[in-house]
């Protein structure tokens, strides 16, 4: 049994367990361990687990595990939270830093003590006006991979749904669409948006967590891009998350190239603790 110190950080309510891998080089991060630690009753609780380690060529390497134990793709709020962790615990020597995730290099910076900006790489696989079958009928949707695959659905395009986004059953509906054959074999994250007063309200069902999360960084980034391409909202685009925080997506669109694509929002340390593994 090993006593391990952890830090709990949330990015706009998207919460993660952080472990400094340099302090515990022999610790084996197994799917069973991740599920145990992320369990909200029998563990610490979190949408995912992130390890941070020093590495050559960049300030640090971030490894993200979904709450179900699977190795995750890019996590935007996890990346922003990692920037905060690196700044607080000596993994980076300045407020601006570069880091590696899944063999890709990213960058970000500290804007203020609780406001973090993360620069994403070029999105891909844009597919507009896809028709996905659902129990409510066929739905028009958009697809974009911003490091993770995301489906964007305007709630106005859901047949027979005439209520505000706050009344949508995101878990039931998201679970149904997440496994649609259209997004096989890996599935996709399902984001629902409502446009009002120049803002985008967003709720997300996340694969790997298999639940609604209070915020999704790469999902908000995808929604911000779709807001420009489909709905002509000029960046920066403010997205209001299920937790009530605001995430800002900004970029310059140069032809088909998204320049300086960034996600900015709050990140805070919730608590530190020790757990026996």
- Residues with catalytic function: 75, 216
Positive or negative, the Cα torsion across 136, 150, 49, 47? Answer: negative
- Please give the distance of CA 217 from its chain centroid, rounded to a whole number: 4
CB-based contacts of 229-237 (< 8 A; 24+ apart in sequence) = 229/126, 229/128, 229/142, 230/128, 230/142, 231/154, 231/195, 233/195, 233/198, 233/200, 237/200
**Rg (the chain; Cα; Å):** 18
Number of H helices, E strands in the chain: 4, 17
Label residue 219 left, alpha or beta by phi (over 0 means left) and psi (-120 to 50 means alpha): alpha
């Amino acid at each position: 049994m090993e006593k391990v110190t952890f830090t709990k950080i949330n990015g706009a309510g998207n919460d993660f367990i952080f472990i400094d891998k340099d302090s515990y080089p022999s610790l084996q991060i197994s799917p069973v361990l991740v599920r145990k630690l992320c369990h909200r009753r029998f563990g610490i609780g979190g949408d995912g687990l992130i390890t941070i380690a020093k590495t050559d060529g960049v300030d640090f390497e971030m490894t993200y595990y979904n709450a179900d134990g699977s190795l995750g793709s890019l996590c935007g709020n996890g990346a922003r939270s990692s920037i905060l962790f690196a700044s607080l615990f000596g993994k980076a020597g300045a407020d601006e830093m570069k880091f590696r995730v899944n063999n890709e290099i990213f960058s970000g910076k500290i804007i203020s003590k609780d406001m973090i900006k993360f620069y994403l790489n070029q999105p891909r696989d844009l597919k507009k006006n896809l028709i996905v079958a659902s129990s409510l009928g066929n739905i028009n949707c958009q697809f974009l991979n911003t490091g993770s695959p995301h489906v964007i659905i305007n709630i106005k395009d859901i047949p027979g749904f005439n209520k505000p986004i706050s009344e949508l059953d995101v878990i039931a509906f998201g679970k149904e669409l997440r496994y649609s054959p259209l997004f096989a074999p890996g599935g996709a994250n399902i984001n629902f948006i409502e446009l009002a007063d120049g803002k985008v309200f967003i709720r997300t069902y996340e694969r790997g967590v298999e639940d609604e999360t209070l915020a999704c960084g790469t999902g908000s980034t995808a929604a911000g891009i779709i807001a420009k391409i489909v709905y002509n909202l000029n960046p920066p685009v403010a997205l209001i998350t299920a937790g009530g925080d605001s995430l800002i997506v900004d970029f310059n669109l140069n032809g088909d190239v998204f320049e300086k694509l960034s996600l900015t929002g709050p990140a805070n340390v919730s608590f530190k603790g020790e757990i026996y593994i």
